Amino acid sequence: MSNNKYKVLIVEDEANICSFIETLLTTNDYQALVAHTCTMGLTLFASHNPDLVILDLGLPDRDGLELIRTVRQKYMTPIIVLSARTDEMDKIEALDLGANDYITKPFGTGELLARVRVALRLNRYRQVKGLRGCHTGDAVIFTMLRYRRKWDILHPGSRNIAMDLIRQHQHMMFEAQFSNAL
């Protein structure tokens, strides 16, 4: 296995979905790591430092949201949430905790692969630009890149207001809106 393959950690307890995603990724030249519980997911994350996490929320031991919370204490690794849950509040909570994207089962293979590519591409871009301290969604990250200097000098109270605005806009604020808001 070549070293330059992207490592994708799949955290999913349903065996057929898991092997389906694993096969899909490996045949598309990704390296796949598989965990069936939240605890195992965190262990593999710590030992392998993956480039991307595909995460099911309904896991047997703990809620997948806990994995997002734990990872985001230290890492900006992109996380795509994959879940049967259709409740909007779950999506909002996952995104607020720092998930980058959300796919509801059932999903198409083309869609999953496209979202994987987008998440990895945005993360590369973010790394190049050295953006720190924002993990509420890729659209926001792009916005932040433009206003990074302004963001860095913001009073913490203003940052909180800005983050609330971003949440209200479901992570899809456009640059002009963000600029005006500040």
Interacting residue ranges for Ca ion, rule: CB under 5 A = 13, 56, 58
Residue with Cβ nearer Ca ion (37 or 177): 37
Residue with Cβ nearer Ca ion (82 or 116): 82
Residue nearest to Ca ion (CB): 58
Residue with Cβ nearer Ca ion (58 or 133): 58
- In the complex, what is the shortest distance from the CB of residue 30 to Ca ion, in angstroms, rounded to a whole number? 21
How far apart are alpha carbons 178 and 163 in whole angstroms?
10
Residue with Cβ nearer Ca ion (80 or 141): 80
How far apart are alpha carbons 158 and 42 in whole angstroms?
33
Q: Amino acid identity of 86?
A: T
- In the complex, what is the shortest distance from the CB of residue 56 to Ca ion, in angstroms, rounded to a whole number? 4
How far apart are alpha carbons 135 and 94 in whole angstroms?
11
DSSP state of 133: S
Residue with Cβ nearer Ca ion (7 or 36): 36
- In the complex, what is the shortest distance from the CB of residue 182 to Ca ion, in angstroms, rounded to a whole number? 40
Determine whether 81 is exposed, middle or buried from the number of CB atoms within 10 Å of its CB (0-12, 13-18, 19+): buried
3-state secondary structure of 13: coil
- In the complex, what is the shortest distance from the CB of residue 11 to Ca ion, in angstroms, rounded to a whole number? 9
Contacts of 156 (CB under 8 A, 6+ apart): none
- In the complex, what is the shortest distance from the CB of residue 17 to Ca ion, in angstroms, rounded to a whole number? 8
Where is 166: in which H helix or E strand? helix 156-168
